[in-house]
């Protein structure tokens, strides 16, 4: 989990005004580049849900959920920032609405592991589109904060999911994230099992080929046997490589199972503590 020092995502109103100018330049530049100002109807601009989105060409971000509660004029976004939590010293998050090109309030509600739950508030009813930007903050040599964009995520009033947002407490968020982590680990195990089946078949094929070559070897000349031995050695190397890959996948499966057990224990212990 990010520490408060590593991910100070809770801004205040004065902060929004201070960062507004630079933020508007970035967002307006993007919207202008799409020629949206000249169109009678805006082009739909919405990031995909449940798909990996490239960030800085090196890392991936995934939107697990983006909900718009129209009655309360709030949004909830759940992000999987994956390995970014290890690669970035400090994160900042900002949001801008398309209707006025002005920043809107965004706060973090919960974070654990690589998952972040964000709330977006104080935007117009006719917001049209909202851009959510993730930034990396680094300290320069003169101890000044320098900000660089990581990824821009978007939602559109025609694409966003309309649903009431439950007032979740920390326990509900915790259970949701734990269930998501468990599901992801189970999917990884299934993928690895399929990969192991393919490796096992490759090993069988190599062993059959080696046996066939050895049977033919007895009828070969001395020179041919030299080439055959080299071929057999090459196949043995391939076989050892497959066995090594299989062992690595077995270790990954073991690790994922340990993670599942850990997540389930954390859910169980959390429920017990609440009931006491």
Task: Give the three-state DSSP class for 52.
Answer: strand
Q: What pLDDT does 147 receive?
A: 77
Report the C-alpha gap between 183 and 189 in whole angstroms: 10
Report the C-alpha gap between 49 and 52 in whole angstroms: 8
102-125: per-residue pLDDT in tens?
999 999 888 877 788 899 999 998
* Domains in the chain: boundaries: 13-165, 172-275
Specify the CATH number of the domain 13-165.
2.60.40
Nearest partner of 8 among 79, 82, 92, judged by Cα: 92
At 41, the pLDDT band (50, 70, 90 cuts) reads: confident
Report the C-alpha gap between 117 and 92 in whole angstroms: 14
Report the C-alpha gap between 219 and 265 in whole angstroms: 63
At 272, the pLDDT band (50, 70, 90 cuts) reads: low
At 249, the pLDDT band (50, 70, 90 cuts) reads: very high
């Amino acid at each position: 989990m990010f520490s408060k020092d590593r991910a100070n995502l809770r801004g205040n109103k004065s902060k929004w005004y201070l960062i507004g100018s630079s933020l508007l330049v970035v967002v307006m530049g993007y919207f202008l580049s799409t020629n949206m100002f000249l169109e009678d109807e805006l082009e739909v601009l919405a990031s995909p849900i449940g798909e990996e989105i490239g960030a800085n060409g090196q890392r991936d971000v995934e939107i697990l959920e983006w909900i718009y509660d129209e009655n309360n004029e709030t949004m909830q976004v759940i992000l999987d920032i994956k390995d970014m939590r290890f690669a970035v010293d400090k994160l900042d998050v900002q949001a801008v609405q398309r209707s006025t090109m002005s920043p809107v309030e965004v706060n973090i509600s919960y974070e654990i592991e690589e998952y972040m739950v964000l709330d977006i508030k104080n935007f117009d009813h006719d917001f049209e589109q909202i851009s959510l930007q993730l930034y990396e903050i680094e300290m320069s040599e003169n101890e000044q904060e320098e900000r660089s964009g990581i990824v821009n995520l978007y939602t559109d009033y025609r694409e966003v999911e309309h649903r009431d947002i439950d007032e979740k407490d920390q326990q509900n968020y915790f259970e949701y994230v734990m269930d998501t982590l468990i599901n992801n680990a189970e999917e990884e195990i299934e993928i690895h099992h399929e990969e192991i089946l393919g490796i096992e078949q490759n090993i069988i094929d190599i062993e059959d080929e080696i046996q066939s070559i050895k049977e033919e070897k007895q009828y070969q000349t001395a020179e041919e046997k030299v080439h055959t031995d080299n071929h057999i050695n090459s196949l043995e190397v391939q076989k050892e490589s497959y066995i090594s890959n299989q062992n690595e996948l077995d270790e990954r499966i073991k690790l994922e199972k340990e993670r599942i057990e850990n997540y389930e224990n954390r859910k169980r212990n959390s429920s017990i503590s609440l009931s006491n």
